[in-house]
Structure 1
């Protein structure tokens, strides 16, 4: 069963007394499941996040990091040097022999300082029992997951997973139980970038059949992608300018500069209050991200569960297909910015914005299918043009038939220049290069179609969200409306800033 309760079940909100702003605590779950999936970008994500916390809390803030194998000195981190730094002979041989996978990849021990331990289930359970149990009412716990993730199953597709070191899994249900064990009045903010991370949006709902009881902590979260889609971003490349993943954009909105220190072009403070809220950082990411992520937040999941769209009859409700001016009039400041910004980037105008986005998405799918056919043909041509070079190369140096032959090592050191001259001087080399570059060009064009498609989907989802939010008071009871208001307030908070008179909420099952 999904973690949220049926629409017929009542939700009771019990407001706790106003409390002074509590402390912010940070828990980082990072790394891969093994060395081959523990890319250097995950390590660097932790460094960027620590820098953000240091800047946002000048007097310090408690942060605990569980990363890959902890303090084990064994090589556990995968990284790749830029292609330009590799010997020319290795690059050419890899291309001609069709063995470019893992080219230039190496391993070392991670350099995350002060890790609390390995990212294991036992360590996380122990943290929630010990450190988590010391949190007080009014405190906020931020959980940042920069890791890999897995799907749910057919019976519970939203019970997705974070992969931990040693190929363990932390699933939505398990984390729900850990959060349930936190003291009352502790708020939880999730920022998760793993594949299928949207399943963890279910943590915002209570569940009446969980033996440990309903989710007592106020939970909000921001997720790189939905529960049924992979996420972009994990890479062994050491060049951080090439990092394009959800949290890179999310944190740069809050910091006001990119992870490499460059100023950002778009103003993320959409309401002009001098602070960049979590919701504004999410909106900035939807607008700026060049990935194919379809990112979401907990209030998106709440609205799809608790509200509904117009069925097309005269029911007084809105839908994503309602006139755009009507939807913009109902939209929050972040949603209004997303609608306008995505529309501008896609060249969409007029009242029928959802319909335009839908038609453009269909056009990109058609173009993507055409490009897929071209890519298959181009790949076949590139492979075919390399066969003659490969055969003549092996005819000259037959030991290359097996790269594990000890003679290959000597060849790459004593005759490297001769091999380079042979390949680049081969009659078929120019054609091989043209075809290889054409294949790369087609693959980039194909990715561009995916980027257009996902921006259309982001726009459609935002229009739908605005309609669902406007309809909520008309189709849901007052308790659900109040809970949504509190959820929006949590999403609209900021890192490093706690307003006076903050309140906590206790969610219990209704009768």
Structure 2
């Protein structure tokens, strides 16, 4: 299951009045992959950023801008009724597609399309316009894909299949800012987002702490956050938890799983929102921030083999303990993977069982569907040729009789049960994959804790100094400098 995208300010007039800037970019590369969750993620992020940065200039660039043609796909489970053509759709193997709907986006005040030119020009104009004490935020909600190493390893998949690579954004940041005394932060929620950590250290130079951000997954990871399902209870992507933590409530208004204000200062900074997501999210994402990616990249190869002295202020150890206890794992077992391994084996075996059951249901449904379809086509041969006059005549004159034939067939009910069982098992597999991802996230946090301990024992090391600059950038509350 894939997911999700976020930018800019090229059309915003410059003003002498100091103001932070938020650039939000979203949508899919084309209609079939511009799912409704992306639209809702953009709306949620925009609302939260407006609450937390009330003086900010917020611009939104989404899909095709103001073009009235459909640019959002949504899905709801179709009714099991003749009026919904569901009996016919089941036999023709389009019963899940039968729930698709398409419409124009409902975001008000969209500044323009999510195009390559708009993104790069907006940043090129907006970043240098940041004044002392101001900050810019880039929020991306949509899709991403791998790119060549020369392009930075990843790219944003914008509307109409346009692309912006890590190297493109590195070039803009290097040329345009942020100016001294200002800051630029970003939230990347798409697949393969981790490569964008390099925006904080272009050309491999040590980060100076003026650019930092948060990413839903690693450079080679797939992210949740782009389902077409209208049920918001299924929205588990990074932005669901990150922006909920910043706002102080879940996106549906419910209380948070726990208080993310780790330092007790009465407000949640972006890094606290990120740490909340690492523990609270029940998704397949394994997020990281720029400071965490720096720790991972700079650690020596031999670190897993040597003992480290625990640092008293290690921010990752409490997360390891909390997540381990949630999973019923003893965090004192060393190495931790020894305690994780039995659960991974058991859950992976369970996943294999579910996959095998799915295969059996799919095969059984396909066999029954083939029998019914052959009888349907023998009686109504024009059903084979959609988009023809004969098919239009079939819908007008023979549809009721055809669906009655389908529903009365002795194999129809077993076929429908196998089809439904397949999709129920698909949901069960996703939940189990999320549980397995929690084990991966626990190991990820444990690795970060070891790296923190290693570098904290060498406070004069350049790598540690760069980490502290990045983390200070991430920890600064919104609106503060």
TM-score class normalised by the smaller sequence:
0.7 to 0.9
Asked if the contact 1:23–1:138 (Cα under 8 Å) also holds between the matched residues in 2, the reply is: no
Sort the Cα spacing of 1:443 and 1:76 in 2 relative to 1 into closer, same or farther, 3 A.
closer
* Counterpart residue number, 1:49: 45
Query: How far apart are residue 178 of structure 1 and its match?
Result: 0.9
Asked if the contact 2:35–2:226 (Cα under 8 Å) also holds between the matched residues in 1, the reply is: yes
* Counterpart residue number, 2:91: 96
Sort the Cα spacing of 1:357 and 1:422 in 2 relative to 1 into closer, same or farther, 3 A.
same
1:274-289 equivalence runs, <5 A: 274-289=266-281
Counterpart-to-counterpart distance in 1, 2:164 and 2:221 = 18
* Counterpart residue number, 2:250: 258
* Counterpart residue number, 1:231: 223
The root-mean-square deviation of aligned C-alpha atoms, in Å, is: 2.7
Counterpart-to-counterpart distance in 2, 1:402 and 1:240 = 37
Query: How far apart are residue 173 of structure 1 and its match?
Result: 1.1
* Counterpart residue number, 1:222: 214
Give the one of 162, 166, 173 matched to 2:167: 173
* Counterpart residue number, 1:373: 356
Query: How far apart are residue 340 of structure 1 and its match?
Result: 2.8
Q: Does 1:468 align with 2:451?
A: yes
* Counterpart residue number, 1:199: 195
Q: Does 1:133 align with 2:124?
A: no
Query: How far apart are residue 472 of structure 1 and its match?
Result: 0.7
Query: How far apart are residue 172 of structure 1 and its match?
Result: 0.7
Query: How far apart are residue 312 of structure 1 and its match?
Result: 6.4
Asked if the contact 1:249–1:285 (Cα under 8 Å) also holds between the matched residues in 2, the reply is: yes
* Structure 1 residues 177-196: Cα deviation after superposition (integer angstroms, max 9, x where no partner): 11122122321211111110
Asked if the contact 1:330–1:470 (Cα under 8 Å) also holds between the matched residues in 2, the reply is: no
Q: Does 1:159 align with 2:153?
A: yes
Three-state SS of the structure 2 residue aligned to 1:106 is strand
Give the one of 485, 494, 504 matched to 2:477: 494
Counterpart-to-counterpart distance in 1, 2:240 and 2:459 = 36
The answer for unaligned runs of 5 or more in structure 2 is 1-17
The answer for unaligned runs of 5 or more in structure 1 is 1-21, 319-325, 503-511
Asked if the contact 1:150–1:160 (Cα under 8 Å) also holds between the matched residues in 2, the reply is: yes
Asked if the contact 2:22–2:58 (Cα under 8 Å) also holds between the matched residues in 1, the reply is: yes
Three-state SS of the structure 1 residue aligned to 2:69 is coil
Counterpart-to-counterpart distance in 2, 1:93 and 1:184 = 64
Three-state SS of the structure 2 residue aligned to 1:65 is strand
* Counterpart residue number, 2:430: 447
Three-state SS of the structure 1 residue aligned to 2:340 is helix
Give the one of 28, 33, 54 matched to 1:32: 28
* Counterpart residue number, 1:120: 115
Asked if the contact 2:151–2:166 (Cα under 8 Å) also holds between the matched residues in 1, the reply is: no
Asked if the contact 1:148–1:162 (Cα under 8 Å) also holds between the matched residues in 2, the reply is: yes
Query: How far apart are residue 416 of structure 1 and its match?
Result: 4.9
User: Number of matched residues?
Assistant: 460
* Counterpart residue number, 2:330: 349
Greater relative CO (CA pairs within 8 A, separation 6+): 1
Counterpart-to-counterpart distance in 2, 1:208 and 1:350 = 35
Sort the Cα spacing of 1:316 and 1:294 in 2 relative to 1 into closer, same or farther, 3 A.
closer
* Structure 1 residues 245-274: Cα deviation after superposition (integer angstroms, max 9, x where no partner): 110111111222222333333322233321
Asked if the contact 1:308–1:472 (Cα under 8 Å) also holds between the matched residues in 2, the reply is: no
Counterpart-to-counterpart distance in 1, 2:429 and 2:52 = 40
Asked if the contact 1:190–1:222 (Cα under 8 Å) also holds between the matched residues in 2, the reply is: yes
Q: TM-score, normalised by structure 2?
A: 0.87
Query: How far apart are residue 76 of structure 1 and its match?
Result: 2.4
Sort the Cα spacing of 1:446 and 1:45 in 2 relative to 1 into closer, same or farther, 3 A.
closer
Three-state SS of the structure 1 residue aligned to 2:273 is helix
Three-state SS of the structure 2 residue aligned to 1:188 is strand
Counterpart-to-counterpart distance in 2, 1:127 and 1:86 = 49
Give the one of 365, 373, 378 matched to 1:382: 365
